[in-house]
DNA sequence: GAATAAAATTGTAATCATTACAAATTTTCT
DNA sequence: AGAAAATTTGTAATGATTACAATTTTATTC
């Protein structure tokens, strides 16, 4: 699963004639390993240790490039900063107000538009819940 | 309905010993009348015309105060800026990628936590959909 | 109703995530 | 190798929001 995402991403990069540069591979590795929806800042701080030349601009560039190819999803539910997710399949996010953790959850029913959305073309669904996780309760 | 929100808000302000100042009333009026989820900037530009002394800081202060009292909901689904909603009852938002309009929709089932969320305490649910509205299709 | 205290508003400067951009470096192609 | 294209980098700019101190308005006291 983890390996799958990584090799799928590298394959997709090659297909689009994007080089498998060190920054790109390290950023991909990071996203595949720490699946806790990191911010660009978090990735920068962590990756800077093993790749001291890495710049923040490259992180943003790369994340946008990956998002462009559909390999990363940019999450905008926080008030200020974005978070990045290697899992691009539709799923919901739950943020625990106590520990701050962000957890994935599956979204069941395929949801046929009804009510006010009848006749609307739904192309993307984002679910963001808040509360307290089991561990913190 | 529209009048209801406004009078409920003024009543709540009085209850908390907050003065019914001109800026507050004008901001409330605006939110009750234009229910299109405006940004702080939009409110500033529009309200500045009839209340030229109004500052942007006051808009932010007031919106936060109203949110504190549960009279306004701050929406954070846009990448950079926040939007403000006088409707605080739970409902979803649909953004049309063509006309840019943001439309409300009701969220049906009361959703009992299951799957990964079993045992989690859900305190807030945010639904944000994207696509194309009926008019633009 | 004037004096005084408290609350609200204002303008400006600071913050912070993200983006723009041009120079430097690396990779790819010939 | 040498030229061209792609990528990375550092720094400056942007833009929404917040901090803060000074000013104005509103409420309270005498
Ligand atoms: Mn996720
Ligand atoms: Mn709404
Ligand atoms: Zn928790
Ligand atoms: Zn539309």
Final residue before a domain boundary, out of A50, A69, A85:
A85
Q: Do B72 and B12 fall into the same domain?
A: yes
Q: Give the CA-to-C1' distance from B38 to D16 in angstroms.
A: 14
Does residue B137 belong to any structural domain of this protein? no
Task: Name the residue among B75, B73, B56 with its Cα closest to residue B5.
Answer: B73
Query: Does A14 contact B at CB distance below 8 Å?
Result: no
Q: What percent of chain B has pLDDT over 90?
A: 91
Q: Are residues B25 and B10 in the same domain?
A: yes
* Cα dihedral B72, B73, B77, B82 sign: positive
Assign residue B12 the CATH number of its domain: 1.10.10.10
A80 and A34 within one domain: yes
CB atoms within 5 A of ion ligand 1 belong to A 85, 87, 104
- Structural domain contains residue B12: yes
Q: Are A80 and A96 in a shared domain?
A: no
Residues 6+ apart with CB under 8 A from B135: B99
pLDDT in tens, B7-57: 999 999 999 999 999 999 999 999 999 999 999 999 999 999 999 999 999
**Domain end: B70, B85, B100, which one?**
B85
Residues B76, B122, single domain; the answer is no
Structure confidence by residue, pLDDT tens digits, A34-81:
999 999 999 999 999 999 999 999 999 999 999 999 999 999 999 999
Report how far residue A21's alpha carbon sits from residue A94's, in angstroms, rounded to the nearest whole number. 33
CB contact under 8 A, B108 and A115: yes
Q: How confident is the model at residue A2 (pLDDT cuts 50, 70, 90)?
A: low
* Domain total of chain A: 2
Number of Cβ within 10 Å of residue B115's Cβ equals: 10
Residue B2 confidence (pLDDT): 63
Angle at A90 between CA A84 and CA A92, to 5 degrees: 75
- Whether A23 and A64 map to the same domain: the answer is yes
Residues constituting chain A = 137
Chain segment A103-128, per-residue pLDDT in tens? 999 987 766 667 899 999 999 999 99
* Residue A17 forms part of a structural domain: yes
* Last-in-domain residue among A67, A85, A103: A85
Structural domain that includes position B126: 92-131
pTM (predicted TM-score):
0.93
Are residue B22 and residue B50 in the same domain, yes or no? Answer: yes
Same structural domain, A34 and A98: no
* A20 in any annotated domain: yes
- Claim to verify: residue B72 and residue B28 sit in the same structural domain: yes
Beta bridge partners of residue B46, listed in sequence order: none
Integer Rg of chain A from CA? 17
Contact state of B128 with A129 under an 8 Å Cβ cutoff: no
**3-state SS track over chain A:** CHHHHHHHHHHHHHHCCCCCCHHHHHHHHHHHHCCCCCCHHHHHHHHHHHCCCCCHHHHHHHHHHHHHCCCCEEECCCCCCCEEECCCCCCEEEEECCCCCEEEECCCCCCCCCHHHCCCEEEEEEEEEEEECCCCC
Same domain membership, residue B36 and residue B7: yes
| Sequence-ordered list of residues with C-beta below 8 angstroms from that of B62, at least 6 positions apart, any chain | B23, B24, B27
Say yes or no: A21 and A80 in one domain.
yes
- Tell whether A59 is covered by a domain: yes
Instruction: Decide: B56 and B40 in contact? Cβ < 8 Å.
Output: yes
In a domain, residue B107? The reply is yes
Answer whether residue A136 is part of any domain: no
d(CA A99, CA A93): 14
Q: Does B115 touch chain A (CB under 8 A)?
A: yes
Cβ-contact A113, B103 below 8 angstroms = no
Q: Is A132 on the interface with B (CB under 8 A)?
A: yes
A37 and A79, same domain (yes or no): yes
Is A46 a domain residue? yes
Give the 3-state DSSP-derived string for chain B, with helices as H, strands as E and coil as C: CHHHHHHHHHHHHHHCCCCCCHHHHHHHHHHHHCCCCCCHHHHHHHHHHHCCCCCHHHHHHHHHHHHHCCCCEEECCCCCCCEEECCCCCCEEEEECCCCCEEEECCCCCCCCCHHHCCCEEEEEEEEEEEECCCCC
């Amino acid at each position: 699963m983890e390996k799958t995402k990584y090799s799928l991403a590298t394959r997709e990069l090659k297909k689009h004639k994007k080089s498998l540069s060190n920054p790109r591979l390290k950023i991909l590795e990071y996203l595949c390993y720490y699946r806790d929806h990191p911010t660009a800042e978090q990735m920068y701080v962590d990756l800077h240790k093993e790749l001291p030349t890495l710049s923040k601009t490259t992180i943003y560039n790369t994340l946008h490039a990956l998002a462009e190819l559909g390999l990363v999803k940019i999450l905008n539910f926080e008030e200020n900063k974005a978070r990045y997710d290697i899992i691009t399949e539709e799923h919901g996010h739950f943020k625990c107000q106590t520990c701050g953790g962000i957890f994935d959850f599956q979204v069941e029913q395929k949801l046929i538009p009804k009510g006010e959305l009848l006749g609307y073309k739904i192309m993307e669904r984002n679910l963001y819940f808040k509360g307290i996780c089991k561990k913190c309760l």
